[in-house]
């Protein structure tokens, strides 16, 4: 009888643990971080796809980060340098393409 009670308690604890783990997994799968690009990657993409010829200097890209044209993770360089949100970079490219269009 005592063993059976202990087994039932153990099963209850295992189920409780499983529920907690399921909730944590669900929460972690809901987290969708925004993709961030280092300036070196932005330079590489601009050069590779010949988006701007000649490509902007590193100082020009840094100014775009500092003035908010390119949205960055934080308001200053991280230990990995400036991290620019990919969607912000793509929006900037679209604005460049549409700059000559009249609305």
CA distance 39 to 36: 10
pLDDT per residue, tens digit, the chain (103 aa), is 667 667 777 777 777 878 877 877 777 667 788 999 999 999 999 999 999 999 999 999 999 999 999 999 999 999 999 999 999 999 999 999 887 665 4
Q: Which residues of 32-54 are buried (b: 16+ CB within 10 A; e: fewer)?
A: eeeebbebeebbeebeeeeeeee
User: pTM for this structure?
Assistant: 0.67
Q: Are strands 36-38 and 83-85 parallel, antiparallel or unpaired?
A: antiparallel
Domain boundaries, the chain: 1-32, 36-98
Q: Residue 50: left if φ>0, alpha if ψ -120 to 50, beta else—which one? A: left
């Amino acid at each position: 009888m005592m063993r059976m009670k202990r087994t039932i308690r153990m099963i209850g604890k295992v189920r409780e643990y499983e529920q907690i783990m399921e909730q944590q997994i669900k929460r972690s799968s809901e987290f969708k971080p925004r993709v961030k690009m280092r300036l070196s990657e932005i330079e590489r993409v601009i050069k590779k796809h010949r988006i701007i010829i000649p490509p902007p200097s590193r100082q020009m890209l840094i100014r775009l980060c500092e003035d908010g044209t390119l949205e960055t993770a934080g308001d200053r360089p991280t230990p990995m340098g400036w991290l620019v949100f990919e969607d912000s970079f793509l929006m900037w490219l679209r604005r460049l393409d549409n700059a000559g269009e009249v609305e």
